[in-house]
Structure 1
Amino acid sequence: MPFKLASMAKSPTPVTLQGHDDHLGVYIHVPFCASRCGYCDFNTYTAKELAGGFSIAGYLAALSQELENAAEILAASTTPHGADTVFFGGGTPSLLGADTLAQVLAEVSRTIGLAPNCEITTEANPESTSPDFFATLHDSGFTRVSLGMQSTSSRVLSLLGRKHSPGRALQAAEEAIAAGFTHVNLDMIYGTPTETEAEVAATLQAIIETGVDHVSAYSLIVEAGTAFARRVSRGELIQTDDDVLAQRYELIAATLQAHGFDWYEVSNWAKPGGQCRHNLIYWRNRNWWGAGPGAHGHIDGVRRVNVKHPARYHSLSTKDQLPLAEVEHLTAAEHHTETVMVGLRLVEGIDATIIDPRAYPTINDFVQRGLLHQWDDPTTGQRRIAVTDRGRLLADGIIAEILISEESA
């Protein structure tokens, strides 16, 4: 059926910024790592890089002050009811230890507040966890753990610069489940140079055997300025061919689906009820406060980005200032672009009524090619569009063409 909406014959429905019923996420950035992986370009710092110029105690004091200031702003926003999700990312949040993570969570509760049934997640590196770590987190109210595994191949882990042994991430996942966590994620990376299909298959099988309910699988991206990029530029490593990456993705998707995991975002699979609610706030382009050095946030169409360096972050926060590097007020058009970009990566897709009619021919073409599909939501009656299973591999290109066609004469 061709893409057509009679109600949009003349112009698209105006984009509305976040409404009063939107969920609120809180992201806490922990900028510390024991060592830097060769592929990583995140805002993280080792003890050597900080050279004694900043402490965890200083970070915690600054973070507490930022949360105080955030609470005042959020009280006047469209989401004053407390956080529906809290996510500790990094860096390596588990380096803080479970007691300190619980202390920060208590600060979020005291300042911003926690909504009933709040999802509370921390990322963790396997080597900085233990059964006691997970037990303390669970007792403190954390509901979800996301572990950086990457691969079960020692050779691949060595290439990536990961320090943990191949089996430690699996053991950590099992320890988290034993501590009472029903929601545990394992991250894997595919497409590392020289990686074999057998190594990817072995990693998948090991993940499935742990009993986790969520898997994130990302192709290796060689980011400029990283040690990995320097090795590629010197010819020491050759990036994996796109066709091979596509084959790896298809293997991952088919294997996970066969074992009860459904995709809900292009790079994320979950068993029923296991979706990461915090990340869905990002992908649905809703509201979240980003706290900590370099953290990004979005509240009611205003994007805030914090200063990156922990020492500068501390200096501004402890002077009772928001530690901001950038503030951007999004236009309706910019908000629309972002909604399409993130929403079309989801299995639920987007509300078709926000699409400009100039994009209809492009969408029709993708539908006929089996890369997009459309349907009427039986609950809302709303027409929606989303990528198909075939379209997932080409999602970025599909999104780009739709956005370009919306602007064409």
Structure 2
Amino acid sequence: MAGPLPLGDPAPADGRLPADLAVDPATPFSAYLHVPFCRVRCGYCDFNTYTATELRGARQEDYASTLTAEVGLAREVLTAAGGVRPLHTVFFGGGTPTLLPAGDLARMLAETVAAFGIVDGAEVTVEANPDTVTAEVADDLARAGVTRFSIGMQSAVPHVLAALDRTHRPENVRTAVGAARGAGLDVSVDLIYGAPGESLADWEASLDAALALEPDHISAYALIIEDGTKLARQIRRGEVPGPDDDLQADMYELADERLAAAGYGWYEVSNWARGEEHRSRHNLAYWRGSDWWGFGPGAHSHVAGLRWWNVKHPAAYAQRLAAGESPAAGRERPDEQARVLEQVLLRSRLSEGIALDDLPVDNRDVVAGLIADGLVDGASALRERRLRLTLQGRLLADAVVRALTD
């Protein structure tokens, strides 16, 4: 299970937004639908997920009904605030959404669309474990309106999957991709690099296997050790080695080289796509600061600068909604300084970069030094007045952000 929820102000039981909140009808609106169920807990994962033995007081078979109750609440809240807008993107994340029957996911999507509407050509993504995807599942979800699968490949090397506690069979990734393609869906595959015992050759084998699938989109994330996870405890006890920063940097450079050669362009530090049309529009909505409602236990939402988060456990979430109450546990309204810092953190990671005029005034003088250090593209800064990371800058993105915000 994930760590503690953030501190914040109490959220009202009816979920109402502050009376002075000004919702901009031109701001794109998205929905995130959290499905918090997994068959097993991966050793590196700190997401808000639950295995069957951790679900006391909640049942998977009731989950679709519970979540759609929050959808109805959201419709009421946003109607009162004048903020109902059609959805631009919908994302089923987890956990493992495809542990639920396709019919449950279809129902959740249908009721969400009925509540808000949806724009033509909207992106609707479902995250999937390779072992849970069949041709029938893919066909059913495509008919329901899903347009995209994000498949958790992570690695093609058995001992790396074992180090991550991933239980899927590597060959099932190809089966899952084939099922999605057969249903006419876009396909993204997710990879993780830097697992204990993973060599550069192992990582190259995983890249080769991913590219052989010819997906539309590839995400490649450096393994991060989160406090409270099984992997963090193993590293602390000396049972397995922690990530090697230099090796992870080599792995990132190899990924960028191989993906670029295969026609994938980077558009966010950890994401590559075959053309702009295959970029994850849902994730871009987060990075660009659009509005979204996060449905489900532990889900976070953002509307017009207000942020809130739901109670974490599925049982507590269901109890609140059964009582006609909002599941929100707390909320906050960041001040202007906090919003600027977040904008720098998120937008500087995008290939489109961030306008120099959007940087904190007191920090703009550090840009020249970042250019001199080879972390920021000088031509973009001079000609377009935009800060764009170089390859070296992407490797040191956190350091760049610190320089721009400290």
* TM-score strictly above 0.5: yes
Whichever residue aligns with residue 397 of structure 1, its letter is: A
Match 1:294 to one of 298, 322, 330 = 298
1:376 Cα deviation (Å)?
6.9
Q: In the aligned structure 2, how far is the partner of 1:63 from the partner of 1:374?
A: 48
* Alignment correspondent of 1:115: 119
1:254-269 pair list within 5 angstroms:
254-269=257-272
Contact map agreement 1:61 1:318 (CA 8 A) in 2: no
Contact map agreement 1:41 1:226 (CA 8 A) in 2: yes
1:295 Cα deviation (Å)?
0.2
Q: In the aligned structure 2, how far is the partner of 1:98 from the partner of 1:200?
A: 33
Whichever residue aligns with residue 399 of structure 2, its letter is: G
| TM-score (normalised: structure 1) | 0.90
Whichever residue aligns with residue 173 of structure 1, its letter is: V
Match 1:39 to one of 33, 40, 44 = 44
1:382 Cα deviation (Å)?
6.6
Q: Percent identity?
A: 42
> How large is the Cα RMSD of the aligned pairs?
1.8
Does residue 21 of structure 1 match 2:26? yes
* Alignment correspondent of 1:203: 206
* Alignment correspondent of 2:233: 230
1:141-156 pair list within 5 angstroms:
141-156=145-160
* Alignment correspondent of 2:344: 340
Contact map agreement 2:133 2:179 (CA 8 A) in 1: no
1:188 Cα deviation (Å)?
0.5
Contact map agreement 1:31 1:90 (CA 8 A) in 2: yes
1:115 Cα deviation (Å)?
2.0
Q: In the aligned structure 2, how far is the partner of 1:266 from the partner of 1:207?
A: 18
1:77 Cα deviation (Å)?
5.0
Whichever residue aligns with residue 90 of structure 1, its letter is: G
Q: In the aligned structure 2, how far is the partner of 1:188 from the partner of 1:246?
A: 15
Contact map agreement 1:33 1:91 (CA 8 A) in 2: yes
* Alignment correspondent of 2:18: none
Match 2:197 to one of 194, 199, 220 = 194
1:334 Cα deviation (Å)?
1.3
1:76 Cα deviation (Å)?
4.8
Contact map agreement 1:375 1:384 (CA 8 A) in 2: no
Count of paired positions:
384
Q: Structure 1: 5+ residue runs without aligned partners?
A: 1-16, 405-409
Judging changes above 3 Å, is the alpha-carbon distance between structure 1 residues 125 and 244 closer, same or farther for their aligned structure 2 residues? same
Q: In the aligned structure 2, how far is the partner of 1:268 from the partner of 1:77?
A: 35
Contact map agreement 2:25 2:85 (CA 8 A) in 1: no
Does residue 248 of structure 1 match 2:251? yes
* Alignment correspondent of 1:135: 139
Q: Which moved more, 1:274-283 or 1:199-208?
A: 199-208
1:135 Cα deviation (Å)?
0.9
1:190 Cα deviation (Å)?
0.3
Contact map agreement 2:92 2:125 (CA 8 A) in 1: yes
Whichever residue aligns with residue 326 of structure 1, its letter is: G
Judging changes above 3 Å, is the alpha-carbon distance between structure 1 residues 79 and 216 closer, same or farther for their aligned structure 2 residues? farther
Judging changes above 3 Å, is the alpha-carbon distance between structure 1 residues 90 and 115 closer, same or farther for their aligned structure 2 residues? same
- List, as ranges, runs of 4+ consecutive aligned residues in structure 1 with deviation greater than 6 Å: none
Q: In the aligned structure 2, how far is the partner of 1:373 from the partner of 1:20?
A: 35
Q: In the aligned structure 1, how far is the partner of 2:85 from the partner of 2:237?
A: 53
1:359 Cα deviation (Å)?
1.3
1:224 Cα deviation (Å)?
1.2
* Alignment correspondent of 2:9: none
Contact map agreement 2:371 2:377 (CA 8 A) in 1: yes
Q: In the aligned structure 2, how far is the partner of 1:171 from the partner of 1:60?
A: 27
Whichever residue aligns with residue 385 of structure 1, its letter is: L
Q: Partner of 2:377: helix, strand, or coil? A: strand
Q: In the aligned structure 1, how far is the partner of 2:322 from the partner of 2:121?
A: 32
Does residue 349 of structure 1 match 2:353? yes
Whichever residue aligns with residue 50 of structure 2, its letter is: Y
Q: Which moved more, 1:383-392 or 1:34-43?
A: 383-392
1:263-278 pair list within 5 angstroms:
263-272=266-275, 273-278=277-282
Judging changes above 3 Å, is the alpha-carbon distance between structure 1 residues 372 and 324 closer, same or farther for their aligned structure 2 residues? same
Q: Partner of 2:84: helix, strand, or coil? A: coil
* Alignment correspondent of 1:372: 376
1:59 Cα deviation (Å)?
2.2
Contact map agreement 2:380 2:387 (CA 8 A) in 1: no
Whichever residue aligns with residue 241 of structure 1, its letter is: D
Whichever residue aligns with residue 278 of structure 1, its letter is: H
1:85 Cα deviation (Å)?
0.3
Contact map agreement 2:23 2:81 (CA 8 A) in 1: no
Q: Which moved more, 1:74-83 or 1:266-275?
A: 74-83
1:171 Cα deviation (Å)?
2.1
Q: In the aligned structure 1, how far is the partner of 2:294 from the partner of 2:69?
A: 13
